[in-house]
Structure 1
């Protein structure tokens, strides 16, 4: 299996578990191993074979119904009828690239710009978040004249050559670029400081100073504002501003990676960065903007983008094609018509409250935190030491899978349940997931106690 990746390997199928599978599932896993590249991973010790989806629900090959608590790519819900209809209608007419004129890309850009700060006025389109972040890094370097990029210690920003070099969550098998610096995550649960914003700003300056000492000119800071791969760290609204001020004072730009916190996900604002009142220089977004249809984008201040785009032609064959724009427009329409930002805020607050009450009954829960429909549920061996309990977390998600609730883990220790359902998640779904999690915590207590005893004996 090679070097482990926190985002790929922590919750994944291992070939040694094949004996526990039914014959057909085992055949499929073996065929994948024979035909597909070895870099691929499947979720769960017992992989799930899905065949149908509808909004927040999924069905497997046996007809069993699941609650999806993890998938933000199908942001407004699996197989949403508005997206299906819009894509189907456009596919019947035309699908081509951006070197021909077409109204859809212009109409969508104008409308999405109304959700952005007025300082942001230009857009470019791609097919994946990796491509958007790759271009953002190139823009940062062109504008600043530097090469140094700062990301959080467990960040994930993509799989291209540039972005993988700035994605420590991919594991030690993926080298970090020599011009990349890792900043400690702003983890309010584990960082003992009276002011998280000032602490984070000071850590930012340390990394910039380290670059300078090594002869590396600072180009920019890239982050998703909820630090999802670092363990879902929303922090107090507004705390990011001092760090962004440090970025700008040192000649760099702030790239807001909105693939995960954007499009009404955090509830408090349409964009994750807006929850903190900051104005990015570049905003990137990915497949959630098209509900899974391959589409991504980079929005930027005109003067920042000009440093790159006035000098270097850029063309992405199917970035911004009419079919993808039709999907993106449908998603934006649904978010507004169904008031999904308000929905995310209200239902997310109720869900967070229920998880917090659940934590009061289970000593293994160290922290529960979130914004909107984006929640981190952290498991520890005991609350005093805050020692991460990765083994318990993995047992819990396997138990949840058996109860037909799908989610995964995040954070550098793999001990944080990452609960991030499609925005179609409803109040009536809360009982299902809370009850299942309660049962999973009870069911995994014996294994956790046994591990604790073994640890003491050793």
Structure 2
């Protein structure tokens, strides 16, 4: 039985409130009264955290939890160099981009150097949602179109515009009238077919659907690892044909790098680079500042030029001095600690370990991913590849009780979503793998 579509994957069921300890029950009751019902908690037994350090999180009783899920603290929770950079800059100056300042120019030069040379302009905001929102505005203005193509269980943000292209928020969040969904590029169920061809054909069908209804395509947007769709990374290069189809239609290709960016996929700084493509716009979010409010859209100058001349853009907190200092420290740490290389080596080690488990446990249908962004898919029957969301949820919650944190993804919630901070090393991978094996024996 799979998780109902109306509930959040790995979300706390409020009907279980009475079963929780008094301390947590009281906090949840206050939370519901003060914040309202829209806010959700993870896990059957919600987690109360008070401190973070590297790849570890701590509860009020001093228990340590291995974080194999959170990508926002990309270089680790409370990294001392990020903390120092924030404190030092906060004591000097913190204002906005309508004054001249060298720091934003130095950081922008450095950031753009990590991209293909065609992507040579950057615009700043505070969150990934804002960055996607801005990218869609630019795409619509550049193309004169309104049609947007997304995958069936995509997540791209929480503003009115980005929520309307985020079907993973659930059926009560209506999609935009000019939004068309396509199936995710699921190589596990492709039966030997060319995933690149199949996905490009679906995008082509979506474009034809729009045109038949008088809708001009503006953009195709996807994160390069299809994280909420179930983590689909292989084979590298399969997005090339989709880029061609999008450009032939006069639309822009937007790469959502909020989750796969900043070296997470291991082989490249940006997820789209694994596919040998150059998008028109790439967006990134809070991992760029290790959780500080900074995000950006990087784009081709010819895409931005007319929008920039015709429409003023300003974001009060976007690229403020303190957030730029944090972002600069993040790039320092990624380079100095070779975190992209670590993501590749540790990720490959984890893939190998999970594939060994796959040989033992028939419930594991597929293991996939790139770098430190991994998925393990549960099925009730390997031959039919029937998704098993109930097992996935059970494993996620058993892991949490063993103090290892992961979550789930996919339209059926049957794929473990494993996405730790970038300093996650082999010693942490061994803890994860040993705990997973033990939990699989328990739930088998």
Answer with 74-83 or 433-442: which moved more: 433-442
> Once the 2 structures are TM-superposed, how far is the Cα of residue 191 of structure 1 from its aligned partner?
2.3
- CA distances 1:77-111 after superposition (whole Å, capped 9, x unpaired): 00001100111100000111111111111111000
Q: Tell me whether 1:439 sits opposite 2:442 in the alignment.
A: no
In 2: Cα distance, 1:138 partner to 1:117 partner: 23
In 2: Cα distance, 1:241 partner to 1:297 partner: 24
- CA distances 1:224-275 after superposition (whole Å, capped 9, x unpaired): 0100000011011111001100000110110010000000000010000001
In 2: Cα distance, 1:37 partner to 1:363 partner: 42
Structure 2 unaligned segments of length 5 or more: list them: none
Q: Residue 113 of structure 2 aligns with which residue? A: 114
Q: Residue 205 of structure 1 aligns with which residue? A: 204
Q: Tell me whether 1:295 sits opposite 2:305 in the alignment.
A: no
Question: TM-score normalised to the size of structure 2?
Answer: 0.98
SS in 2 for 1:310: helix
In 1: Cα distance, 2:306 partner to 2:100 partner: 25
Q: What pairs with 1:23-422 in structure 2 (closer than 5 Å)?
A: 23-422=22-421
In 2: Cα distance, 1:51 partner to 1:382 partner: 41
C-alpha RMSD of matched pairs (Å): 1.2
- CA distances 1:195-236 after superposition (whole Å, capped 9, x unpaired): 111111111110000000011000110010100000011011
In 1: Cα distance, 2:307 partner to 2:5 partner: 33
The question of whether the paired residues in 2 share the 8 Å contact of 1:139 and 1:307 is answered with: no
The question of whether the paired residues in 2 share the 8 Å contact of 1:50 and 1:58 is answered with: yes
- CA distances 1:141-195 after superposition (whole Å, capped 9, x unpaired): 0111100010111110001111111111111100010101101100100123521
Answer with 286-295 or 14-23: which moved more: 14-23
Corresponding pairs, count: 442
In 2: Cα distance, 1:205 partner to 1:193 partner: 21
Question: TM-score normalised to the size of structure 1?
Answer: 0.95
> Once the 2 structures are TM-superposed, how far is the Cα of residue 384 of structure 1 from its aligned partner?
0.7
SS in 1 for 2:350: helix
> Once the 2 structures are TM-superposed, how far is the Cα of residue 4 of structure 1 from its aligned partner?
6.6
Structure 1 unaligned segments of length 5 or more: list them: 446-458
In 1: Cα distance, 2:195 partner to 2:5 partner: 28
The question of whether the paired residues in 2 share the 8 Å contact of 1:4 and 1:173 is answered with: no
SS in 2 for 1:353: helix
